[in-house]
Structure 1
Amino acid sequence: MENNTTIKTHKYRLYPTKPQEAAMFETLRLTRQLYNAALEQRISAYKKQGKTVTGYDQQKELTALKEACPEFEAVYSHVLQEPFERLDKTYRSFFARVKRGEKAGFPRFKPAQRWNSFKFKEVWDKKKGRWLTPGRPTDDGKRINIPKIGSVKCKFHRPLEGTPKTLQILHECGEWYAVYTCEVPKNPLTPTGSSVGVDVGTTWFAITSDGEFVENPRHLKTGLRKLRVQQRTVARRKKGSNRRKKAVKLVAKNHQKIRRQRLDFHHKTARRLVNEHDVIAHEDLKVSNMVKSNLARSISDVGWSQFFDILSLKAESAARKVIRVNPMYTSQTCHQCGHRSKESRLSQSRFKCVNCGHEDNADLNAARNILQAGARPSGVNDSEVMHVVA
């Protein structure tokens, strides 16, 4: 049965009072403490007894924990359960990496700097079709109810869509946010009859098979001079001092601005592609491996992984199709005659086929090959000769 809904997040700025903010920080402290204690319990149980402790086993101990440590009574029950679920997810990811033969990275204890959110895993009553207490907006639409914390002022800059599922309270660069995860119905767009191949790079952000060159805004490079000055200031400040903390906050704010600029650019570019094309084929890049090269900063700045994720989500919601194509040989193959030779790639931007003499921009030629590979039946091998796409 086809699923006619998709998941969408809505992020709103919160403006807590000082007592409310103190309660939020205390919730962060206690949930982080719970996560670290749960991790320590699992490690000790395995070392001493060879026993595996699950998140469900640890959740059953919460009642006894509240009796022994009354401070945990100040935290909503679902919020206390979430650190165990988060730890379960971390363990699953660890074992999946081990199975794939990748660098595993065993789960680590969380310092305060790496624990900036707590979560309400249920905010909607499905049977009665109404809000539960966590995250429920007030009648005037200017506040939300956060159990054990109070009614917190919230800026709803856009309406919530669909059915809310979860609520995450996030602390980011000195600011608080409410992040709702909602189940929304898909909104299929009118078919355009158009298909496009997309080649991404660092000189140009994207080159499409129909000849469009999307400029790379280079947000990190633009803000690098200011970042360098701020980071030198941090280095000169005494560790633990208030002046250093203020300098660190300025660096974090600047990084936040760069992230937001990049995210906005990715959303707008993906939206335009989804609106204009029914089928979008792009390279299936292993970005985590590519950032180990001498182009690491440029690759991180362009943010391909985030862009591809956003593109897939928007396409799913609009009933469009996104195809990931193996990028192997797309830059060495002539899209006119199908001949493959590395000598045809004369430079970063020039392509001249040694077989038929066809000349083209190298990235544009690659984008057309990507479209061609995306249109090929799934049973055909990528290494086979490519044919012309009209």
Structure 2
Amino acid sequence: MMLKKTYKLRLYPTKKQTEKLEWTLARCCELYNAALQERRESYTYTGKGTNYNQQAMQLPEIKELREEYKEIHSQVLQDVLRRVEKAFKDFFKRVKAGKKPGYPRFQSRTRYDSFCYPQAGFSIKNGRLELSKIGHSKIKLHCKVLGTIKTCTIRREGGCWYACFSCEVGQVLRTPYTDEAVGIDLGVSKLATLSTGDVIENPKHYRRAEKRLAKAGQALSRKKRGSQRRKKAVQRIAKLHRKVRNQRNDYLHQWSRRLVNTYETIVFEEIAPANLSKRAKPKQDEQTGQYLSNGASAKSGLNKSILDAGWSTFIAFCEYKAANAGTVEVVKVDPKYTSQVCSGCGVVVKKKLSERWHSCECGTELDRDHNAALNIKALWLGRSLQEAQAS
């Protein structure tokens, strides 16, 4: 069985190479916007759209008119047009599904951050990455790139450059240390509580960096628009956010690896963090029409903590590591009543969100999150909470 795996490796280009990479991104961004504009005008004036093949056939003519495009690998330019094609296909899919369409929009140079060699034009030799039309760049091979490399995407993140290799690799089965199942209750004060009673602490990386981010934001607000100082201030904020993201991902990678290596079945709640972190709805007095207090301030703080915890990322890391292992399964169950039902006797014990201890008349005394984790595991094992919900 062949699996797809992406390796993200840090690049260390020279100053001249960095300028060339920036220049290539700018030309790709221009081509993307021009292709998008052509599609819009074609539909406006003729009532018919255009497609990738028709636009790709125009590339030789574009190179004759704009000779600088001859300095970019042909497949990189073709991939830009494929991105436009994909943007419109996704748009029409959302329209058919009745979702918010989100018409494809033009990209600014600050938002267009990657270009791709889809088949050829790149190679790794002696710790250096050779890119066609750009040259050799030092690359940090912190891990061995396994499998067959299919694509190479060059990505800019702030002031850093990365090469992302999409590879086809053969599946290597990995047997976990135990054949047990574990239920996991995700939280804010603690990242996760396991049905075994173990706790994964929440380091709250964003909260710890919040003061530095606020200070950097204040410094940015005092800079004149368009100035070099403002650009440096923007890069400073981007660097701080990138550090927070890297810290969070590193922490989640470590714990997801431990879970996949230890348990045969990992059971999560089927939750939607995007819905849980929505802003509070406004409240109005029916008679006067005045807006009433809706707890928006407290909800905003909770939303920030939910996003800082990275629940979706944690589950995604566990899922793909389990798929690579081949012998580990990640499943999800309905979270309804898992915090209220007693894991000992199945009776509903109603609690406020502020109550963090579960106490039942049957004698069950334990942490609220531990109780929920036990119920999550029990649901997967076949125990139904329907009777408890009805009582």
- The equivalent of 1:367 in structure 2 is 373
- The equivalent of 1:296 in structure 2 is 303
- The equivalent of 1:216 in structure 2 is 202
Shift, 1:100, TM fit: 4.1
CA deviation profile, 1:294-323 (whole Å, cap 9, x unmatched) = 222111111111111111111111121000
Q: Which moved more, 1:254-263 or 1:61-70?
A: 61-70
**Does structure 1 retain, via aligned residues, the 8 Å contact 2:268–2:376?**
yes
Partners of 2:134 and 2:248 lie apart in 1 by: 33
**Does structure 2 retain, via aligned residues, the 8 Å contact 1:202–1:299?**
yes
Judged with a 3 Å threshold, the aligned counterparts in structure 2 of structure 1 residues 362 and 94 are, in CA distance, closer, same or farther, namely farther
Q: Which amino acid aligns with 2:164?
A: V
Q: Which amino acid aligns with 1:226?
A: R
Matching of residue 329 in structure 1 with residue 347 in structure 2? no
- The equivalent of 1:109 in structure 2 is 106
**Does structure 2 retain, via aligned residues, the 8 Å contact 1:345–1:351?**
no
Determine helix, strand or coil for the equivalent of 1:114: coil
Partners of 1:102 and 1:361 lie apart in 2 by: 40
Amino-acid identity (%): 39
- Please give the TM-score of this superposition, normalised by the length of structure 2: 0.88
Partners of 1:101 and 1:375 lie apart in 2 by: 36
For structure 1, the 5+ residue unaligned runs are 124-133
Write out aligned runs for 1:81-230 (5 A).
81-123=78-120, 134-138=121-125, 141-191=126-176, 192-230=178-216
CA deviation profile, 1:91-129 (whole Å, cap 9, x unmatched) = 333333334443332211100111111001114xxxxxx
Partners of 1:157 and 1:147 lie apart in 2 by: 23
Residue in structure 2 matching 1:262, options 198, 223, 248: 248
Partners of 1:350 and 1:277 lie apart in 2 by: 27
Determine helix, strand or coil for the equivalent of 1:169: strand
Partners of 1:87 and 1:367 lie apart in 2 by: 44
Matching of residue 358 in structure 1 with residue 358 in structure 2? no
Partners of 1:331 and 1:299 lie apart in 2 by: 17
**Does structure 1 retain, via aligned residues, the 8 Å contact 2:128–2:138?**
yes
Judged with a 3 Å threshold, the aligned counterparts in structure 2 of structure 1 residues 37 and 352 are, in CA distance, closer, same or farther, namely same
Judged with a 3 Å threshold, the aligned counterparts in structure 2 of structure 1 residues 24 and 221 are, in CA distance, closer, same or farther, namely same
Q: Which amino acid aligns with 1:327?
A: P
Shift, 1:365, TM fit: 1.3
- The equivalent of 1:127 in structure 2 is none
CA deviation profile, 1:324-345 (whole Å, cap 9, x unmatched) = 222222222222233345x255
Partners of 1:337 and 1:276 lie apart in 2 by: 29
Matching of residue 311 in structure 1 with residue 297 in structure 2? no
Partners of 1:318 and 1:348 lie apart in 2 by: 38
CA deviation profile, 1:224-275 (whole Å, cap 9, x unmatched) = 1111111100001111111111111111111111110001001001001001
Judged with a 3 Å threshold, the aligned counterparts in structure 2 of structure 1 residues 40 and 384 are, in CA distance, closer, same or farther, namely same
Shift, 1:359, TM fit: 3.2
Determine helix, strand or coil for the equivalent of 1:360: strand
Partners of 1:12 and 1:346 lie apart in 2 by: 43
Q: Which moved more, 1:248-257 or 1:50-59?
A: 50-59
Partners of 2:20 and 2:263 lie apart in 1 by: 48
Partners of 1:33 and 1:105 lie apart in 2 by: 21
Determine helix, strand or coil for the equivalent of 2:313: helix
Partners of 2:337 and 2:92 lie apart in 1 by: 33
**Does structure 2 retain, via aligned residues, the 8 Å contact 1:198–1:283?**
yes
Partners of 2:94 and 2:340 lie apart in 1 by: 33
Q: Which amino acid aligns with 1:240?
A: G
Determine helix, strand or coil for the equivalent of 1:136: strand
Partners of 2:253 and 2:93 lie apart in 1 by: 30
Write out aligned runs for 1:38-57 (5 A).
38-57=35-54
Q: Which moved more, 1:226-235 or 1:43-52?
A: 43-52
CA deviation profile, 1:75-94 (whole Å, cap 9, x unmatched) = 11110011222223223333
**Does structure 2 retain, via aligned residues, the 8 Å contact 1:344–1:352?**
no
Q: Which moved more, 1:155-164 or 1:210-219?
A: 155-164
Partners of 2:188 and 2:75 lie apart in 1 by: 44
- Please give the TM-score of this superposition, normalised by the length of structure 1: 0.88
CA deviation profile, 1:26-45 (whole Å, cap 9, x unmatched) = 21011111111111122222
Partners of 2:44 and 2:226 lie apart in 1 by: 36
Judged with a 3 Å threshold, the aligned counterparts in structure 2 of structure 1 residues 330 and 145 are, in CA distance, closer, same or farther, namely same
